[in-house]
Each structure stands twice: as structure tokens, then as C-alpha cells.
């Protein structure tokens, strides 16, 4: 399939804010990332059209994506109308209009939004994921085989929303309190799973069919992390650059791993990718326990691909400059439509 003009679609409802110590912090201005993707594509000789998605301008958005001017849509939408749960709906819309687009199909985006379904599929296809159960009852009893410590997460959130120090629980009281918190704050069931105390890796996977490859593994370096806190990538650690926890969870890519572990990380990530029906690109979170077993925590079928995010870092470690990486995503999608 020949691609000359690419339409980049993205959410344009303003930057997110977060309050730390009574101070409001703005982060994640999508415009900058969009310009970088557009700049990369233009550098490679493509023409680009930017089509923002807003609730107010939704009619206009529909008109534009159907104007026939682009050969391929570069999908940077992470939801719609300020709701990340609509991420799958945008992909579904593109499918409905029979438009060609980069990234994952709506069904994969939808399934991955539910961490329980994701884990059921992984288990069903023989990929190890920590033992878990899903509940909306704070007075639960522990199913057989599960013991403390456990981690409690919202069933249907991502980007570490609802992941805090209190997410790791050691007693029935803490467990009940945390389930209650999830029910109230996130209007979501709680996913309770075995807490894997060990190294954490993210593996970026690209491609389709037998051309699917894993990029060099990235590891979260917890060595400077406060001893008294459970080692997790909480919301604060992941996003709030001014937080000390952010600085104490730097990603290291390529991760210092043996050839044997690298092979296992890559193979496990690709198995998880295929199990979820992933397409073009996705990121897989994993932990290695003290006995050397690898556990898949989750699959992210719409990971951040901006220049300073983990995926681009892994691509860089594989020898791809940013614009080459973005170009590769286009080539992968275009090839799939042939
Ligand atoms: N079973 C687990 N054992 C240890 N740490 C976990 C476990 N599940 C999640 N975490 C920690 O919480 C972080 C966020 O959880 P994750 O399942 O990746 O959700 P998301 O990134 O979508 O919020 C992980 O990066 C990891 O640090
Ligand atoms: Mg994650």
C-alpha cells in the first residue's frame, strides 16, 4: 500500500492537571507530541494533516476523517471527550468507516482496559500472570492459594490511576479498606493480586505476524527508592516529575540483564502481545520474582510514543532515531493493509 498523506488524529481538550502539595501541576501537553510525530513524518517525505478530536468539534472531526484526503490515519487518541474509556470507540469508528489506521484494533483496546479479562486471556494462553480475583465486596475472604502481601488495583483504569503506597496490603483490614477505596473513588471493581516483589521490566513490541519484534528491555531502577515503601510505579512515581518518587524510579534501557533473561523477556512479551491480538505496537509490563519466574502484569495496546516516553527510548536503544521509529510504525501499518 502506498502512503503519501497521513492524518494524525489526537485528543485536543487541553492538558491534564494534578495537585501535589496544594500546587496544581500541568502535564502531558499532547500538542507537543503531535507536532513531533508530524515533524518526523514530514522529514520522511509524508504529507501530514492534523485532525484534533474534541467533544464540541465532533461533527467536524467526522467530516474531516471522511474527506478522502489521507491514505492512512495515525491514531494518537487516548480516549474521547476527556474519557479514557472511549479509547476503543475511536478505533471502532475508524473501523466502521473502513479507514486504514496505525495501532491496535478496538477489540484489543477494549479488552486491555479490563485488567481481569486481560489476565484471563493470558492465563488461558499459558502466559504467567500473578494469581488474582476480582471483587466489589470489601468483606471478601481470600481465595485458596493467595496470601499477603497483595496489591489492589482498579479493574478498569490504566496509567497507574489508583496505584498508591496503600495499594499494597498486608492484612485483611488493609485489604477491605483498599477495596472500599477503589469502589468509592474509581466506581470500579477491585482487582486483587499477588504482589510480586522483584525487578520490573517494560517490553516494547512492534510488528505483526512473523515480523513481530521486541525492543531492548527497559527496567525500573528502584535502588534509590525509600526502603519503607513498597516498590511500585505509583501514579506519583510515573507522572509527577516534581515528586521525589518520580526521580527514584528512573527507567534504564537497555536493562542490565543476562542474554538468557533478555530472551525470556522478549519471548514472554511477544506471547502476551499475540494472546491479546495486539497489532502494530504495544508495551508489556512484567515482574521477575525472587525464584526467577516472570509474571506479566498487564498489556498496554496504546502506549505513549512521544519522544521522551519509554517506547521511543527502547527504539533508540535498538538504534532507531525518533523519526525512524515513527516511520517504522507507518510502514508496519501500511504493510498490514497490503
Ligand atoms: N502484582 C504486582 N506485583 C508487584 N507490583 C505490581 C503488581 N501489579 C502492579 N504493580 C505495580 O503497579 C504498577 C502499575 O500497575 P499496572 O498493572 O502496570 O497498571 P497501570 O500501569 O495500568 O496503572 C506497576 O508498574 C508495578 O510497579
Ligand atoms: Mg502498567
Nearest to 294 by CA among 155, 174, 192, 200: 200
pTM over 0.75: yes
- Give the per-residue pLDDT at 238: 80
Q: Which atom of ligand 1 is nearest to the CA of 232?
A: 27
- Spatial distance between the Cα atoms of 204 and 255, rounded to a whole number of angstroms: 13
Query: In angstroms, what is the span from residue 297 Cα to ligand 1's centroid?
Result: 6
Ligand with an atom nearest the CA of residue 251 = 1
**What is the spatial distance between Cα 117 and Cα 176, in angstroms, rounded to a whole number?**
23
Quick one: DSSP state of residue 80? B
What separation in Å is there between the alpha carbon of 246 and the centre of ligand 2? 15
Question: What is the fold, at CATH topology level, of the domain defined by 196-321?
Answer: D-amino Acid Aminotransferase; Chain A, domain 1 (3.30.470)
Domains of the chain: which residue ranges?
Answer: 5-107, 131-194, 196-321
Which residues crowd ion ligand 2, with CB under 5 Å? 285
Dist. CA 45 → ligand 2 center (Å): 34
Cα angle value 297/145/170 (rounded, 5°): 70
**Three cell numbers written together for 164:** 498508591
DSSP-assigned letters across all residues of 269-319:
HHHHHHHTT--SEEEEEEEE-TTS-EEEEEEESS---STTSHHHHHHHHTT
Ligand 2 centroid, distance to 188 Cα (angstroms): 17
Torsion of Cα atoms, 302 then 308 then 312 then 318, to 10°: -150
Closest listed ligand to the CA of 160: 1
Ligand number nearest to the C-alpha of 118: 1
Would you write out the chain's pLDDT as a tens digit for each of its 338 residues? 899 999 999 999 876 655 555 666 565 578 999 999 999 999 999 999 999 999 999 999 999 999 999 999 999 999 999 888 999 999 999 999 999 999 999 999 999 999 999 999 999 999 999 999 999 999 999 999 999 999 999 999 877 788 999 999 999 999 999 999 999 998 899 999 999 999 999 999 999 999 999 999 999 999 999 999 999 988 888 888 888 888 889 999 999 999 999 999 999 999 999 999 999 999 999 999 999 999 999 999 999 999 999 999 999 999 999 999 999 999 999 999 99
What is the pLDDT at residue 18? 55
Q: What is the dihedral of CA 331, 332, 334, 338, to 10 degrees?
A: 130
To test the ligand 1 pocket, which listed residue (111, 149, 163) has its Cβ within 8 A of the most ligand atoms? 163
- Judge contact between 183 and 138, C-beta under 8 A: yes
Nearest CA to ligand 1 atom 8: 297
Q: Choose which residue among 191, 233, 284, 299 to substitute to test ligand 1 binding: the one with the highest number of ligand atoms within 8 A of its C-beta.
A: 233
Which pLDDT value is given to residue 41? 98
Domain spanning 5-107: which CATH class is it, in words? alpha beta
The domain defined by 131-194 folds into: Dna Ligase; domain 1 (3.30.1490)
Distance, CA of 44 to CA of 328 (rounded, Å): 10
Q: How far apart are the C-alpha atoms of 315 and 321, rounded to whole Å?
A: 7
The predicted pLDDT at position 234 comes to 86
Amino acid at each position: 500500500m502506498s502512503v503519501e498523506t497521513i492524518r494524525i488524529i489526537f485528543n485536543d481538550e487541553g492538558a491534564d492537571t494534578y495537585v501535589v502539595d496544594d500546587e496544581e501541576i500541568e502535564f502531558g501537553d499532547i500538542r507537543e507530541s503531535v507536532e513531533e510525530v508530524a515533524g518526523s513524518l514530514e522529514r520522511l517525505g509524508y504529507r501530514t494533516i492534523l485532525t484534533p478530536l474534541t467533544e464540541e468539534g465532533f461533527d467536524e472531526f467526522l467530516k474531516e476523517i471522511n474527506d478522502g484526503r489521507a491514505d492512512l490515519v495515525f491514531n494518537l487518541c487516548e480516549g474521547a471527550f476527556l474519557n479514557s474509556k472511549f479509547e476503543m470507540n475511536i478505533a471502532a469508528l475508524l473501523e466502521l468507516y473502513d479507514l486504514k489506521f496505525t495501532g491496535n484494533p478496538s477489540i484489543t483496546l477494549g479488552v486491555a482496559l479490563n485488567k481481569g479479562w486481560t489476565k484471563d486471556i493470558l492465563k488461558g494462553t499459558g502466559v504467567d500472570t500473578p494469581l488474582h480475583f476480582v471483587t466489589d465486596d470489601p468483606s471478601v475472604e481470600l481465595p485458596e492459594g493467595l496470601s499477603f502481601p497483595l496489591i489492589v488495583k482498579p479493574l478498569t483504569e490504566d496509567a497507574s490511576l489508583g496505584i498508591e503506597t496503600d495499594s499494597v496490603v498486608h492484612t485483611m483490614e488493609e485489604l477491605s479498606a483498599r477495596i472500599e477505596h477503589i469502589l468509592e473513588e474509581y466506581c470500579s471493581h477491585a482487582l486483587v493480586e499477588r504482589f510480586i516483589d522483584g525487578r520490573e521490566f517494560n517490553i516494547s513490541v512492534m510488528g505483526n505476524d512473523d515480523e513481530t519484534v521486541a525492543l531492548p528491555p527497559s527496567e525500573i531502577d528502584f535502588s534509590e527508592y525509600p526502603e519503607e515503601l513498597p516498590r511500585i510505579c505509583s501514579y506519583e512515581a510515573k507522572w509527577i516529575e516534581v515528586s521525589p518518587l518520580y526521580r527514584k524510579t528512573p527507567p534504564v534501557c537497555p536493562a542490565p540483564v543476562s542474554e538468557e533473561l533478555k530472551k525470556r523477556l522478549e519471548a514472554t512479551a511477544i506471547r502476551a502481545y499475540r494472546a491479546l491480538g495486539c497489532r502494530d505496537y504495544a508495551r508489556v509490563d512484567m515482574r521477575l520474582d525472587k525464584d526467577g519466574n516472570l509474571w506479566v502484569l498487564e498489556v498496554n495496546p496504546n502506549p505513549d510514543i512521544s519522544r521522551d516516553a519509554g517506547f521511543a527510548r527502547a527504539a533508540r536503544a535498538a538504534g532507531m532515531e525518533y523519526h525512524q521509529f515513527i516511520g517504522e510504525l507507518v510502514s508496519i501499518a501500511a504493510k498490514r493493509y497490503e
